[in-house]
Structure 1
Amino acid sequence: MSAVSSRLPVFPWDKLEPYKATAAAHPDGIVDLSVGTPVDPVPALIQQALVAAADSPGYPTVWGTATLRDAIVGWCERRLGAVSFAHTNVLPVVGSKELVAWLPTQLGLGTGDKVAYPRLAYPTYEVGARLCGATPVTYDTETFAADAAGAELDPSGLKLLWLNSPSNPTGRVLGKDELTRIVAWAREHGVLVFSDECYLELGWEAEPVSVLHPDVCGGTYEGIVSVHSLSKRSNLAGYRAAFIAGDAAVLGELLRIRKHGGMMTPAPVQAATVAALGDDVHVAEQRARYAARRDVLRAALLKHGFRIEHSEASLYLWATRDEPCWETVGHLAELGVLVAPGDFYGAAGERFVRVAFTATDERVEAAVKRLG
């Protein structure tokens, strides 16, 4: 039996444990701004929908209920600008991380195939490539978006191209023209595009656009799929509620595979997802909470001597003191504040830290005082 884990990088968060212990020793306790997990309550209408569907003794279906598919289709049309969407254009998944990690395997990729993702990126893109034995390759987002002629990214053997806008960790947003150039380049070279848009509802200084918008995709979804999660917008990280949308042929193949794998979103979670996608009020309320936390943390970091780059969207501030990231992590840990080192997201982040603003108002206020 081969150890598949030997293909994978060291799980990065384990390296943060000593700094977490230092931060936890602060007299007023730790302020954890590292992982970015939601801390605010699940909205009442979503909890109620979950409870109402709790008596679900039978197996759910992988494709979900017709009501769930209606809700996803309606949200994609209303929020993303998608047109002529149908049930065949959507597929619920059991959390977006599971999808990212296993997608290359489910697409049948392997040795000799390449999977591309941004040089600064969510680590699971690389993990997904390595799990199936494909070759992970990186690209510089700004260069590629500016010149999608692809001089930097060799299309030979490239089967899957990950986009991520708004970006985790940098918060950079790809504009409509940039997305259009990239999609056109990918189609020209027969490369499948998956666009991770999990932070799309959280634009602060820019308005994120989906690859499903007709101005980007030209009204056809051939070769493109977008990935969406309810973890951030609706505080549903614990529910593992997510979905993908786009190319019906790609989603149909994934549906057939996932049926065999039993990859079913639990029936109560499906009902909760319907409630969440049908209500915009709770999303606006949560945005307001995050906006207030972002404003005070940003000001405090700047006052403390940090420089902040991008960060126009998402739940993070991409900050630097122009020193190795682990020195910054150590400095903040001594203040009782835990952040994520930038090199978790690639070597290009080695002088940055990612600061999440997902802590409670009380903990954010404590961080601001310590930084002052």
Structure 2
Amino acid sequence: MTAQLPGAPRVLPDFPWDALDAARERAAQHPGGVVDLSIGTPVDATPALLGEALAATGNAPGYPAALGTAALRTAAAGWLSRRLGVTVADPLAADPSVIPTVGSKELVALLPTLLGLSGGGTVLIPSVAYPTYEVGAVVAGLTIRRTDVPPPDADGVVLVWLNSPGNPHGRVMDDDELRAWVDWGRAHGVPVAADECYVTLGWDVEPRSLLHPAIAGDDHTGLLAVHSLSKQSSAAGYRGGLLSGDPALVRRVWEVRRHLGLLVPTPVQAAMTAALADDAHVDAQRDRYRSRRDRLAGAVRTAGLRIDHSEAGLYLWVTRDEDCWATIGWLAGLGVVAAPGSFYGPAGARHVRMALTATDERIDAAVERLAG
């Protein structure tokens, strides 16, 4: 189903989460209450160091810079190097190699527009994909094509979205796959953007950034990467994200963002700076998610369901080899809500996504119900 915006020629998908209302109502009737594993919103306390930095810069009467403070861009470059092995060009240069964004979703939704790609053409997205890639294409007046491999030609293609580790399925692209996209994009002059918001959450494998020298080579020409503090720092409410990569492309995005007033508030920039300089809280949060993953995955398998991919990220990609809505109904009967795989494209129609972002108490409740 689609919804036509009044006075607008573009047709957006319906907001998918509304379709889960009936399942939520049924699950809420369980005597132990609902266990909502559908939307992957963090529930653990935001580390104190972020709040302290936020409060210390609360006196912020002037407008923040779309470019980001020098301290934030320096901290971001340090984080990319330390955690991902990525060396960006001078973050303080006239053409910046990294800038802050208002979370990652708005950047994903607006990237085609910010790059000036509006008006025609095709965006390539994964076969099973975060819905906002499609939304961003529609907003810019573009079409999408779903593919997991570079096509034989680039006719009409204006942008490629990669997502590794993937949402919803947690699949990690290997080095050969990433390099194939880099080579294809550069050969055809098509920008390749990688959504890497779960890159620090590898479980069975170690995810690699598109910007890593083993993938990108000596520079980041034609490449962009998107990162977020929402999950790794349990700070989704702060709306702090990063865009890095090819300085020419980053500058293009920055120039439009400052015209539009897409500014990360000064106190949030300070909190981001503190978070990006500290590894301890990231590692602690990762350990919490690993523990929840181990417990929930064991219960899912004990209940006779199969987990596909899920080697990284914050979700289990689960199937009973039936239509996803049948699985949603079965889980709702246990008081558990998951996300139907059809939200993420036709190829997801026989899976559901179960998030690891519930509290330990709710995860344990899900484990008990699945075991029962």
Tell me how far 1:85 sits from its aligned partner.
2.6
Structure 1 range deviating more: 274-283 or 173-182: 173-182
Give TM-score scaled by structure 1 length: 0.95
Q: 2:60 aligns with which of 52, 56, 60?
A: 56
SS at match of 1:308: strand
1:275-294 superposed matches below 5 A: 275-294=274-293
The alpha-carbon distance between structure 1 residues 63 and 347, as it changes in their structure 2 partners (threshold 3 A), is: same
Tell me how far 1:84 sits from its aligned partner.
5.3
SS at match of 1:93: strand
| Rounded Cα–Cα distance in structure 2 between residues aligned with 1:354 and 1:51 | 36
| Rounded Cα–Cα distance in structure 2 between residues aligned with 1:236 and 1:69 | 18
1:162-311 superposed matches below 5 A: 162-311=161-310
Tell me how far 1:157 sits from its aligned partner.
1.0
Partner of 1:105: 113
The alpha-carbon distance between structure 1 residues 77 and 85, as it changes in their structure 2 partners (threshold 3 A), is: farther
Tell me how far 1:174 sits from its aligned partner.
0.7
Structure 1 range deviating more: 335-344 or 57-66: 57-66
1:21 aligned partner, one-letter code: E
Asked if structure 1 preserves the Cα contact closer than 8 Å seen for 2:88 and 2:244, the reply is no
CA offsets per residue over residues 40-75 of structure 1, 9 Å max, x none?
000111111111111111111101111111111111
| Rounded Cα–Cα distance in structure 2 between residues aligned with 1:69 and 1:83 | 13
Q: 1:65 aligns with which of 66, 69, 74?
A: 69
1:97 aligned partner, one-letter code: K
1:66-145 superposed matches below 5 A: 66-83=70-87, 85-87=89-91, 88-139=96-147, 141=148, 144=149
Give TM-score scaled by structure 2 length: 0.95
Matched, 1:33 2:32: no
Unaligned runs of 5+ residues in structure 1 are none
Asked if structure 1 preserves the Cα contact closer than 8 Å seen for 2:165 and 2:171, the reply is yes
CA offsets per residue over residues 152-181 of structure 1, 9 Å max, x none?
xx4111010000000001100011222112
Partner of 2:364: 365
Q: 1:10 aligns with which of 14, 20, 40?
A: 14
2:23 aligned partner, one-letter code: Y
Asked if structure 2 preserves the Cα contact closer than 8 Å seen for 1:213 and 1:219, the reply is no
Tell me how far 1:2 sits from its aligned partner.
5.0
Over the matched positions of the two proteins, sequence identity in percent amounts to 54
2:295 aligned partner, one-letter code: V
| Rounded Cα–Cα distance in structure 2 between residues aligned with 1:272 and 1:5 | 39
1:159 aligned partner, one-letter code: V
SS at match of 1:4: coil
SS at match of 2:300: helix
The alpha-carbon distance between structure 1 residues 31 and 84, as it changes in their structure 2 partners (threshold 3 A), is: closer
| Rounded Cα–Cα distance in structure 1 between residues aligned with 2:88 and 2:32 | 54
SS at match of 2:13: coil
| Rounded Cα–Cα distance in structure 2 between residues aligned with 1:312 and 1:187 | 29
The alpha-carbon distance between structure 1 residues 217 and 6, as it changes in their structure 2 partners (threshold 3 A), is: closer
SS at match of 1:163: strand
Asked if structure 1 preserves the Cα contact closer than 8 Å seen for 2:10 and 2:139, the reply is no
| Rounded Cα–Cα distance in structure 1 between residues aligned with 2:225 and 2:360 | 32
The alpha-carbon distance between structure 1 residues 183 and 367, as it changes in their structure 2 partners (threshold 3 A), is: same
1:347-358 superposed matches below 5 A: 347-358=346-357
1:349 aligned partner, one-letter code: G
| Rounded Cα–Cα distance in structure 1 between residues aligned with 2:282 and 2:12 | 36
Partner of 2:332: 333
| Rounded Cα–Cα distance in structure 1 between residues aligned with 2:326 and 2:288 | 30
| Rounded Cα–Cα distance in structure 2 between residues aligned with 1:371 and 1:341 | 18
The alpha-carbon distance between structure 1 residues 9 and 279, as it changes in their structure 2 partners (threshold 3 A), is: same
Tell me how far 1:186 sits from its aligned partner.
1.1
Q: Structure 1 stretches (4+) deviating beyond 6 angstroms?
A: none
| Rounded Cα–Cα distance in structure 2 between residues aligned with 1:326 and 1:84 | 44
Partner of 1:42: 46
SS at match of 1:252: helix
Give the superposed CA RMSD: 1.2
| Rounded Cα–Cα distance in structure 2 between residues aligned with 1:301 and 1:331 | 13
| Rounded Cα–Cα distance in structure 2 between residues aligned with 1:73 and 1:6 | 37
Matched, 1:316 2:315: yes
SS at match of 1:8: strand
Unaligned runs of 5+ residues in structure 2 are none
| Rounded Cα–Cα distance in structure 1 between residues aligned with 2:120 and 2:228 | 31
